[in-house]
Amino acid sequence: MKRKPTINVADNGNLLIHIPMLIRRMRGRKQVITPQALDGEIPKAAEPIQAAVVQALARAFSWAEILESGQVKSISELARRLEVDGSYVTRILKLTTLAPDIIEAIINGEEPDGLSLAKLTRTFPEDWREQRRFFGVENNCA
């Protein structure tokens, strides 16, 4: 969030305090994301990160490595080893095809509003430029 809070004095002597903020839905709850303090960054403020999405990304790359290294021969064998449904493994593995800047934005907690694991595991374009448009992620190196 780029804008900073402002404090102004109105003509009648009242203080006008403007605090820009974002409200995001995270893990089924609304979370208020605050801006910088008047004098800079808020110390020790936690970045809002969607743990389920980050965990799914980690699983996707870990599972892809298991497949590529030959430890398992197929997605169905991997699913049996993990004791999960094969379609779940396939949906999670698709996350490895996300554009690197989208992955970075998710890990940094800078993903666009409304981007959830449910949306990421649905069908999305393979082309990285189209992914950026589809998910609403802006990038200067497109």
The answer to the question of residue 41 being in a domain is: no
Closest CA to 48 of 18, 14, 70, 25: 25
Task: Provide the residue count of the chain.
Answer: 142
pLDDT in tens, 46-79: 555 678 889 999 999 999 999 999 999 999 999 9
Do 78 and 120 fall within a single domain?
A: yes
Average pLDDT over the chain reads: 83
Domain contains 40 = no
Q: Are residues 52 and 26 in the same domain?
A: no
Our count of domains for the chain comes to 2
Q: Which of 76, 74, 73, 96 minimizes the C-alpha distance to 84?
A: 76
Residues 114-140, mean pLDDT to the nearest whole number: 86
Q: Are residues 76 and 106 in the same domain?
A: yes
The pLDDT, as a whole number, for residue 142 is 45
User: Quick check: 34 pLDDT over 80?
Assistant: no
Residue numbers of the domain that contains 104:
47-142
- Please say if the pLDDT value at position 19 is more than 60: yes
Do residues 30 and 52 both lie within one domain?
no
Query: Considering the entire predicted model, what is its pTM?
Result: 0.64
Residue 13 CB-half CA count within 13 A: 0
One domain for residues 60 and 85:
yes
- In the numeric block, the tokens 């009648």 are attached to 12
Structural domain includes residue 59: yes
